[in-house]
């Protein structure tokens, strides 16, 4: 009995050892047996997740790489020791310690998550100085990372580049908000990737509206995914652009099934999945994912090395012969390839970190061309966008690179603005709005203010029981209807009356009670953080209105010119009078007589030229030059003066009763407006009166309740259009953003509305509506807000005055020079005929004597000679002496300035003057 029992126990023990024998034969024997004593063995530890598809593909790829090396090498063998991490960082670290102590591994490869890689590198690599090659990297590289983990080498996808690619897709289709979906891994591994996506979206003007965190599949209590279905029921979630950062395949599959059931995968929706999901999809996973966009790292699949690897992979991979090796399998294959190349370069039969760095300085693998920098294997990332058409087809679209954007080739030569021809969910070829668009069953809710201070903008008449076109009227409603009719798609909506302030309406849209608001709402900085504004359809600014009376000025005729202009004009006039008198005095008989008569004649002649009424004859050519320029000045002055005075007398001019409003004055404003806070906080007014309606302002002014009213520019125009006879408005000094419609943040309707509003502004339709609703001509034909013509300043005539003054001065100097020379000739002639004087005359006395002679016409110049012959040789020759007939000998003689006697100095005696006062004909010289 005991013998049989003992035999049974032995048999039972043998059965227990049988699985271990099988494992030894299948796994350990191919890699754990040395060929002979002359063959060197390198042990490599591989820590992967046996239960995931990525882990299974990585294991197969590494086995293929090890077998290829062992078959080719006769002196060295590579043995792989696999351990399962189960995606647990602590199990991964424990497995690494066990591999180092028991298997004497020289390199550790694997770790699909950064948490696993950090634990292994921290607890194992830093202590034993064994190189660790991980397939994961942190989304955001910590500072001094290389100093903390000097033996860690990271081969992974660039997380920031992938998030930048997703942001460019969002920007290409003008999506403003997105919903981010990710599965909770229990270690917060999604935080870094989420931060990178947030930053990338902000760079393109988009934002994350909601984060949907999915529980791990093992934590779900109901196999029907009831918890996940409840998470998708988000009534306030308007965005329909879903980005799945990371998740397991079972979770993703059920997520799409439930989203399709709830109508989230269909018209106007867009779904984007990252590489960790897109690289693992199989036909059975994609039945509910039609129209989804995926991102995959591009690698060359047309090389002979890739073809050989793919054949071996499909033969060896246990999950199916049709499986295609993706980027994770290629990186695993390249990791073993790096180690095998390092084996050929090692000098002490040990794989050191320096040897691995030497290999990675220029390594070309199946996944990419690699180079090592600060512990991270870098490659220029190029992504390929794929489009899931159905359960059997994937459509490859454009490429994307960080510096190049979208292109049709991996080199980035043919650039595009989007990912290419996408078949979106619902078999749509046009880009979806990415928003929960209103339908007939669920129309857009639009808030309309029930009580308005200026009814011409929005007016609600709830007593009418007919259509909304009768209940809701006004300028804003008219523009909204015009925009709706010009949209290229249907937009069902319904108005809802709201009896509250405009700021409350903005809050309602911010809290997603209303989808939009149609009202006269001003664009303000603090409101931009809550809602989305369309292109303003009307400008806005703060205008002050005060009672006014027509301005009656006795000195209105002085207004066309400024005081400076009048002073300079008078100075030029006086200067011209002096020049004309100086030039005409010796020659013109009209300038004879006493000095006051001479000045009067010169002044009258110059002044009459202002009206082109002068009749006096001009004898001097220089005077003619001066007068020609002066007449041109007169023409410009009189024309400008007449035009400006006519404008001032024609345009209605109102004089405000109050020219200055201090902060203690009583001012009125719209009670439902931000202007109250603006007057208090910015302008510092203390006594602010809320006026209930536009029709109450005249009464408030009459009762002296307010001294001024501050209204936004659109309201001021409406008020002045009706009450322009008794009030005046200042031009808006303080500008605001304008009047606009508001929508929820991220709404794509804003862009469509803005485009149509710009078209209406450009073709003048808005101006027509403004004239029809706000400022009809029949109410007030004259607008008191028009700016009065300004007085003309000296700047407009400076050049003309300079030319006139310069011309007069030049003519004066020419005439003076000629007379000075004549004076010198006469002095020389007198000194030659008279006896020499014992005393010399002083310079001042000589100047006085010259002035007297000029004034008494004892010195004269020819007047008929051409202008440019003044300095001709015959004028300056000493052979001739010029004299004029003395007016003192013949007081009643009419002086003829053109008859001048020429007497030779040397021999001929002076010619006597005839009794008639004329010069003999043979001595006359006409110039």
Q: For position 197, what pLDDT does the model report?
A: 93
How high does pLDDT run on average in the chain? 78
- Give kind and range of the element (H or E) at residue 873: helix 873-876
Neighbours of 734 (CB within 10 A): 16
Which range is most confident: 148-152, 243-247, 591-595, 817-821? Answer: 243-247
362 or 655, higher pLDDT: 362
Is 372 in contact with 361 (CB distance < 8 Å)? yes
Cα angle 843, 847, 853 (rounded to 5 degrees) comes to 145
Q: What is the mean pLDDT of residues 279-289?
A: 75
Cα 602 from Cα 616, distance rounded (Å): 10
Is 168 in contact with 406 (CB distance < 8 Å)? yes
The model's confidence at residue 243, banded by pLDDT at 50, 70 and 90, is: very high
Q: For position 509, what pLDDT does the model report?
A: 94
The model's confidence at residue 441, banded by pLDDT at 50, 70 and 90, is: confident
Task: Please give the C-alpha separations between residue 835 and each of 203, 548, 798, 830, 913, in angstroms, as whole numbers.
Answer: 105, 85, 55, 9, 25
Q: What percent of the chain has pLDDT over 70?
A: 75
pTM of the model: 0.67
SS3 533: strand
Q: For position 877, what pLDDT does the model report?
A: 35
Instruction: Summarize pLDDT for 562-576 with one digit per residue, the tens.
Output: 888 888 888 887 888
Q: For position 63, what pLDDT does the model report?
A: 93
Task: Please name the residues in contact with 197: beta carbons below 8 A apart, sequence gap of 6 or more.
Answer: 163, 166, 167, 180, 208, 243, 245
516 DSSP β-pair partners: 446, 743
Q: For position 282, what pLDDT does the model report?
A: 72
Cα 49 from Cα 136, distance rounded (Å): 13
Residue 582: pLDDT over 80: no
Residue 714: pLDDT over 50: yes
- Give kind and range of the element (H or E) at residue 197: helix 190-203
Q: What is the mean pLDDT of residues 426-443?
A: 88
Q: For position 12, what pLDDT does the model report?
A: 53
368 or 383, higher pLDDT: 383
Instruction: Summarize pLDDT for 765-803 with one digit per residue, the tens.
Output: 999 999 889 888 655 544 444 455 677 777 777 888 888
DSSP assignment of 93-130, as one string?
HHHHHHHHHHS--SEEEE-SSHHHHHHHIIIIIHHH--
By C-alpha distance, which of 604, 612, 550 is closest to 573? Answer: 604
136 or 533, higher pLDDT: 533
User: What tokens appear for 740 in the block?
Assistant: 């606009």
Spell out a b/e string for 681-709, using b for 16 or more CB atoms within 10 Å of the CB, else e. eebebeebeebeebeebbebbeeeebbbb
Q: For position 6, what pLDDT does the model report?
A: 45
> Which of 115-124, 228-237, 286-295, 353-362 has the weakest average pLDDT?
228-237
Cα 104 from chain centroid (whole Å): 62
Q: What is the mean pLDDT of residues 583-603?
A: 71
Find the helix packing angle between 749-762 and 475-486, rounded to 10°: 110
The model's confidence at residue 332, banded by pLDDT at 50, 70 and 90, is: very high
Cα 231 from Cα 251, distance rounded (Å): 13
Residue 899: pLDDT over 80: no
User: What tokens appear for 164 in the block?
Assistant: 């930048």
> Which of 34-48, 327-341, 615-629, 850-864 has the weakest average pLDDT?
850-864
Give backbone dihedrals phi and psi of 895, rounded to 5 degrees, phi first.
-80, 130
Q: For position 187, what pLDDT does the model report?
A: 67
904 or 509, higher pLDDT: 509
Instruction: Summarize pLDDT for 506-564 with one digit per residue, the tens.
Output: 999 999 899 999 999 999 999 998 999 999 999 998 888 888 766 566 777 777 888 88
DSSP assignment of 599-659, as one string?
HHHHHHHHHHGGGT--------HHHHHHHHHHHHHHHHHHHHHHHHHHHHHHS--EEES-S
User: What tokens appear for 915 in the block?
Assistant: 């009794």
The model's confidence at residue 613, banded by pLDDT at 50, 70 and 90, is: low
699 or 617, higher pLDDT: 699
Q: For position 531, what pLDDT does the model report?
A: 93
> Which of 575-579, 613-617, 642-646, 730-734 has the weakest average pLDDT?
613-617
Give the single-character DSSP code of 465. -
Q: For position 429, what pLDDT does the model report?
A: 86
Q: For position 112, what pLDDT does the model report?
A: 87
Residues in the chain: 927
The model's confidence at residue 321, banded by pLDDT at 50, 70 and 90, is: low
DSSP assignment of 473-507, as one string?
ESHHHHHHHHHHHHSSS---EEEEEE-S-HHHHHH
2 or 666, higher pLDDT: 666
> Which of 431-435, 471-475, 612-616, 899-903 has the weakest average pLDDT?
899-903
Task: Please give the C-alpha separations between residue 869 and each of 563, 623, 863, in angstroms, as whole numbers.
Answer: 43, 16, 11
Cα 612 from Cα 856, distance rounded (Å): 31
The model's confidence at residue 213, banded by pLDDT at 50, 70 and 90, is: confident
By C-alpha distance, which of 39, 24, 44, 38 is closest to 103? Answer: 44
The model's confidence at residue 159, banded by pLDDT at 50, 70 and 90, is: confident
> Which of 278-282, 299-303, 576-580, 586-590 has the weakest average pLDDT?
586-590
Spell out a b/e string for 641-660, using b for 16 or more CB atoms within 10 Å of the CB, else e. beebbeebeeeebbebeeee
Residue 921: pLDDT over 70: no
Q: For position 870, what pLDDT does the model report?
A: 40
The model's confidence at residue 242, banded by pLDDT at 50, 70 and 90, is: very high
Cα 378 from Cα 601, distance rounded (Å): 98
Is 155 in contact with 373 (CB distance < 8 Å)? no
> Which of 351-355, 747-751, 874-878 has the weakest average pLDDT?
874-878
Residue 133: pLDDT over 70: yes
User: What tokens appear for 398 in the block?
Assistant: 């454009």
Task: Please name the residues in contact with 71: beta carbons below 8 A apart, sequence gap of 6 or more.
Answer: none
Residue 105: pLDDT over 60: yes
Q: For position 740, what pLDDT does the model report?
A: 95
Strands 493-498 and 444-449: parallel
Residue 409: pLDDT over 60: yes
Q: What percent of the chain has pLDDT over 90?
A: 22
592 or 170, higher pLDDT: 170
Find the helix packing angle between 595-608 and 563-584, rounded to 10°: 120
Cα 890 from Cα 779, distance rounded (Å): 80
Measured over the CA atoms of residue 746, residue 747, residue 752 and residue 756, the dihedral's sign is negative
Residue 8: pLDDT over 50: no
By C-alpha distance, which of 817, 501, 872, 900 is closest to 674? Answer: 501
> Which of 394-403, 476-485, 828-837 has the weakest average pLDDT?
828-837
Task: Please give the C-alpha separations between residue 242 and each of 161, 211, 238, 554, in angstroms, as whole numbers.
Answer: 19, 10, 11, 76
Q: For position 905, what pLDDT does the model report?
A: 40
Q: What is the mean pLDDT of residues 400-408?
A: 89
The model's confidence at residue 74, banded by pLDDT at 50, 70 and 90, is: confident
Cα 160 from Cα 197, distance rounded (Å): 8
Cα 756 from Cα 487, distance rounded (Å): 8
Task: Please name the residues in contact with 424: beta carbons below 8 A apart, sequence gap of 6 or more.
Answer: 269, 270, 291, 430, 431, 432
Give the single-character DSSP code of 239. B
Q: For position 24, what pLDDT does the model report?
A: 44
CA-based R_g, the chain, Å: 50
Cα 920 from Cα 232, distance rounded (Å): 126
């Amino acid at each position: 009995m005991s013998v049989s029992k003992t035999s049974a126990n032995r048999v039972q023990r043998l059965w227990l050892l049988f699985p271990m024998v099988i494992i030894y034969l299948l796994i350990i024997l191919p890699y754990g047996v040395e060929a002979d004593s002359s063959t060197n063995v390198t042990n490599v530890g591989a820590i992967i997740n046996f239960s995931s598809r990525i882990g299974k593909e990585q294991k197969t790829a590494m086995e293929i790489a090890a077998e290829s090396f062992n078959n080719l090498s006769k002196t060295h063998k590579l043995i792989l020791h696999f351990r399962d991490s189960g995606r647990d960082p602590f199990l991964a670290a424990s497995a690494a310690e066990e591999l180092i102590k028991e298997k004497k591994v020289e390199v550790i490869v694997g770790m699909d998550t950064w948490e696993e890689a950090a634990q292994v590198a921290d607890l194992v690599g830093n202590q034993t100085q064994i190189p660790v090659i991980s397939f994961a990297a942190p989304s955001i590289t910590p500072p001094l990372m290389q100093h903390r983990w000097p033996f860690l080498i990271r081969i992974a996808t660039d997380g920031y580049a992938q998030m930048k690619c997703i942001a460019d897709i969002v920007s290409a289709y003008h999506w403003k908000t997105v919903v981010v979906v990710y599965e909770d891994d229990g270690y917060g591994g999604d935080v870094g990737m989420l931060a990178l996506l947030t930053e990338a979206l902000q760079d393109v003007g988009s934002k994350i509206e909601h984060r949907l965190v999915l529980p791990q599949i093992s934590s779900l209590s109901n196999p029907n995914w009831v918890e996940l279905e409840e998470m998708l029921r988000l009534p306030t979630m308007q965005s329909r652009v879903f980005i799945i950062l990371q998740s397991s395949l079972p979770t993703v599959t059920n997520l799409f099934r439930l989203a399709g059931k709830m109508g989230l995968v269909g018209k106007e929706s867009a779904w984007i999945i990252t590489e960790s999901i897109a690289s693992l999809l199989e036909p059975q996973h994609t039945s509910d994912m039609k129209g989804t966009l995926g991102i995959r790292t591009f690698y060359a699949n047309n090389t002979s090395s890739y073809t050989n690897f793919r054949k071996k992979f499909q033969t060896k991979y246990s999950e199916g012969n049709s499986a295609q090796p993706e980027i994770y399998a290629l990186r695993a294959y390249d990791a073993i390839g790096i180690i095998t190349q390092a084996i050929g370069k090692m000098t002490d039969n040990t794989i050191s970190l320096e040897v691995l760095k030497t290999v990675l300085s220029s390594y070309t693998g199946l996944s990419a061309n690699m180079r090592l920098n600060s512990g991270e294997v870098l490659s220029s990332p190029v992504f390929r966008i794929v489009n899931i058409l159905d359960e059997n087809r994937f459509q490859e679209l454009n490429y994307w690179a960080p510096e190049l954007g979208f292109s049709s080739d991996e080199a980035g030569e043919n650039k595009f603005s989007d990912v290419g021809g996408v078949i979106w969910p619902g078999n749509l070829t046009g880009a979806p709005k990415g928003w929960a668009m209103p339908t007939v069953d669920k129309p857009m809710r639009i808030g309309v203010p029930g009580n308005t201070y200026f009814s011409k903008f929005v007016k609600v008449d709830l007593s009418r029981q007919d259509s909304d076109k009768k209940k809701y009227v006004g300028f804003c409603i008219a523009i909204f209807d015009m925009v709706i009719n010009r949209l290229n798609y249907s937009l069902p909506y319904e108005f809802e009356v709201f009896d509250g302030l405009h700021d409350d309406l903005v809050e309602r849209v911010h809290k997603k009670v209303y989808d939009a608001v149609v009202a006269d709402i001003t664009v303000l900085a603090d409101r931009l953080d809550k809602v989305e504004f369309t292109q303003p359809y009307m400008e806005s600014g703060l205008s002050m209105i005060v009672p006014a009376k027509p301005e009656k000025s006795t000195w209105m005729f002085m207004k066309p010119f400024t005081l400076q202009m009048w002073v300079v004009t008078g100075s030029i006039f006086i200067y011209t009078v002096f020049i004309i008198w100086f030039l005409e005095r010796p020659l013109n008989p009209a300038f004879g007589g006493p000095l006051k008569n001479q000045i009067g004649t010169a002044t009258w002649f110059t002044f009459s030229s202002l009206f082109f009424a002068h009749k006096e004859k001009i004898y001097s050519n220089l005077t003619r030059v001066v007068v020609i320029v002066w007449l041109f000045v007169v023409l410009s002055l009189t024309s400008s003066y007449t035009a400006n005075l006519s404008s001032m007398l024609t345009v209605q001019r109102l004089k405000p009763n109050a020219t200055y409003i201090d902060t203690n004055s009583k001012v009125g404003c719209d009670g439902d407006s931000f202007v109250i806070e603006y007057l208090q906080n910015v302008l510092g007014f203390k006594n602010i009166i809320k006026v209930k309606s536009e029709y109450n302002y005249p009464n408030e002014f009459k009762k002296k309740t307010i001294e001024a009213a501050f209204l936004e520019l659109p309201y001021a125009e409406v008020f002045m259009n009706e009450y322009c006879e008794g009030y005046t408005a200042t031009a808006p000094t303080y500008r605001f953003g304008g009047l606009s419609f508001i929508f929820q943040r991220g709404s794509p309707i804003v862009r469509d509305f803005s485009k149509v509003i710009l078209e209406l502004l450009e073709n003048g339709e808005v101006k027509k509506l403004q004239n029809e609703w706000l400022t009809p001509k029949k109410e007030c034909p004259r607008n008191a807000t028009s700016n009065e013509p300004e007085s003309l300043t000296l700047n407009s005539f400076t050049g003309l005055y300079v030319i006139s003054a310069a011309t007069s001065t030049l003519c004066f100097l020419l005439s003076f020079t000629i007379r000075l020379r004549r004076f010198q000739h006469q002095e020389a002639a007198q000194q030659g005929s008279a006896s020499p004087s014992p005393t010399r005359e002083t310079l001042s006395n000589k100047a006085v004597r010259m002035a007297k002679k000029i004034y008494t016409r004892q010195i004269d110049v020819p007047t008929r000679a051409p202008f440019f012959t003044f300095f001709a040789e015959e004028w300056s020759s000493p052979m001739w002496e010029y004299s004029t007939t003395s007016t003192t000998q013949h007081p009643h003689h009419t002086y003829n300035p053109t008859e001048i006697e020429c007497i030779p100095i040397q021999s001929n005696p002076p010619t006597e003057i005839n009794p008639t006062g004329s010069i003999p004909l043979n001595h006359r010289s006409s110039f």
